[in-house]
Structure 1
Amino acid sequence: MVIGALVPDAVMFINPFYRMPWNYGDAHSFLGVWLINIPLGMVLWLCWEFVIAPGYRTCAPKWLALRLPDHRPTTLKKVAWAIPSVLVGICTHLLWDSFTHAGYPLTSPGGPLDHTIGKLSLFRVLQHGSSVLGLGGVLLWILLLLRYPKRRSASSHWRLWPWLLPVITGVMAPVYLIMQQNFAHPKVLKLALLNIVTGSVSGVLVCAFFCALLLLGIKGARRVLRR
């Protein structure tokens, strides 16, 4: 569901580096749900399920490894459940957009959510407020999840570089993206800042993916050499 809730906006995170063949409007259309969002959501879920999660589980520091949930093998049933879960996440994203983005009946001029609070429209307050609450909820969930150890021992081997490289990417990506933006026109300033933020996030995730892929490759190579 989490991945599904993100994929309609995926084009915003990818476009700073690579221009996708579809745009924001396509991803938020009815056909886009089936032709873009669900396939992309499943690809991202598979990347998480088979690469990022198992890769970083092998290099987690001991205190974290002891607190991670038990790994559940990927089965056909799990894959089958992933598809409707992604779809539900997509639908919640699109539904909430109708309350928090311009161009919908509730947010159009004269609509019930077009009233202003200070200098912001009510739907903008809902948009930014829900983002803050959602981020706080995620952080609280992580804190509760990792509060107590779930096992007495863990098979992970702490490595610094898989954690350090994404951090370095998160620092360097904004520098690169700032150099690519045009700040001369005030009208595109917000778009430029958005590109910097979304591009930095996607840069970190892509770096983490390749780090995890390399970790799994190293682990597999060691198994082969031991035979």
Structure 2
Amino acid sequence: MPYTLSHAVVALPVSVIARGRIPLAAMVVGSMSPDFPYLLALSPTEAPGHSESGVLIYCLLPSLLMLLVWYRWIEGPTLELFRLPRREWSFGKSSYFLVVLGVLIGAYSHVLWDATSHFDGLFVVNSEFWNREILSLPMYKLNQYGGGILGLAALFVWYVFAVIKNRQEQYQGKLIIGVLVYSISIVFFVLLANIVHGSTVIIEFAVRSAIGGIVGGICGMCMYAFMVHLQADKKYYNE
């Protein structure tokens, strides 16, 4: 897909089928994990996680480390800011297995989707179907861009319904601070990605801006959570 975040849409139907037993966060992080090198480089680069063995070697451990940070420090402030419900987890042996399973489901769904939506994808190379043209575009391109757009749209619709469902809960987020922190972080990384790599054409600017936007969102999420915890600790010690 042209936008890494779109891959997270796979987590929604799987979560419904599994009746919420597989952690949504694990599938979301796993679904983006093959593109981690892009996020680190702020530009498309070699990503060895786009293969069956690459998922196990390059995606699983970084995803689990990110989830550790998420559950320990970031989840609460982030869900409160975006008015999303927080599900209580009792972490036992079965829970750890489900987290690993969620990461693998997300990561392998990414690999499978890319195999049908990129010119060098496994199914595109070995099948005439994905190379058939519709409206002067090969099927894999339609899958790539159409999937990206529909994926983002589905995530937005899910978010709206989740907020509506949770609207009766008292809002505990710090909206103004959150908007400010996220905005500054996203703008900074979008500019950084394009300046560092010297984007000169529209497609380069669009791709690197998308990557910079994701990185900026992640960093903004971390900074906001840090500020919330810092304020809570300060209040605790003052009491």
2:114 matched to 1:97? yes
Q: Contact 1:69–1:150 (CA<8 Å) still a contact in 2? A: no
Q: Which amino acid aligns with 1:140?
A: V
Q: Which residue of 1 aligns with 2:23?
A: none
Structure with more of its chain in helix, by fraction = 2
Cα distance in structure 2, aligned partners of 1:148 and 1:83 = 28
Q: Which residue of 2 aligns with 1:145?
A: 162
* 2:182 aligned residue (166, 181, 196): 166
1:71-124 deviation digits (Å, cap 9, x = unpaired): 414523433311111101111111111111122343128722112223321101
Q: Contact 2:79–2:85 (CA<8 Å) still a contact in 1? A: no
1:83 is paired with a residue of what secondary structure?
helix
TM-score if structure 1 supplies the norm length? Answer: 0.79
Structure 2 stretches lacking a partner, 5+ long? 1-26
* 1:2 aligned residue (15, 28, 31): 28
Q: Which residue of 2 aligns with 1:134?
A: 151
Shift of 1:183: 4.3
2:180 matched to 1:180? no
Q: Contact 1:12–1:195 (CA<8 Å) still a contact in 2? A: no
1:28-79 deviation digits (Å, cap 9, x = unpaired): 1333211211112112222322222212356x3xxx65xx324414523433
For the structure 1 residues 193 and 132, does the alpha-carbon distance in structure 2 shift closer, same or farther, using more than 3 Å as the test?
closer
Q: Which residue of 2 aligns with 1:23?
A: 46
* 1:118 aligned residue (135, 139, 158): 135
Identity rate of aligned residues, in percent? 17
Between structure 1 and structure 2, the one with the greater Rg is 1
Q: Which amino acid aligns with 2:58?
A: I
Q: Contact 2:85–2:166 (CA<8 Å) still a contact in 1? A: no
Q: Which residue of 2 aligns with 1:210?
A: 223
Q: Contact 1:181–1:192 (CA<8 Å) still a contact in 2? A: no
Shift of 1:7: 0.7
Structure 1 stretches lacking a partner, 5+ long? none
1:162 is paired with a residue of what secondary structure?
helix
Please list, as runs of the form range in 1=range in 2, the aligned pairs for 1:184-199 lying within 5 A after superposition. Answer: 190-191=203-204, 193-199=206-212
Shift of 1:212: 0.4
Cα distance in structure 2, aligned partners of 1:90 and 1:160 = 34
Q: Which residue of 1 aligns with 2:71?
A: 49
1:125-181 deviation digits (Å, cap 9, x = unpaired): 011111111111111111111114464546x26352233111122223323333223
Bigger RCO (CA 8 Å, 6+ sep): 1
Q: Contact 2:199–2:205 (CA<8 Å) still a contact in 1? A: yes
Cα distance in structure 1, aligned partners of 2:51 and 2:65 = 20
Q: Single out whichever of 145-154 and 122-131 deviates more from structure 2.
A: 145-154
Cα distance in structure 2, aligned partners of 1:220 and 1:74 = 25
Q: Which residue of 1 aligns with 2:235?
A: 222
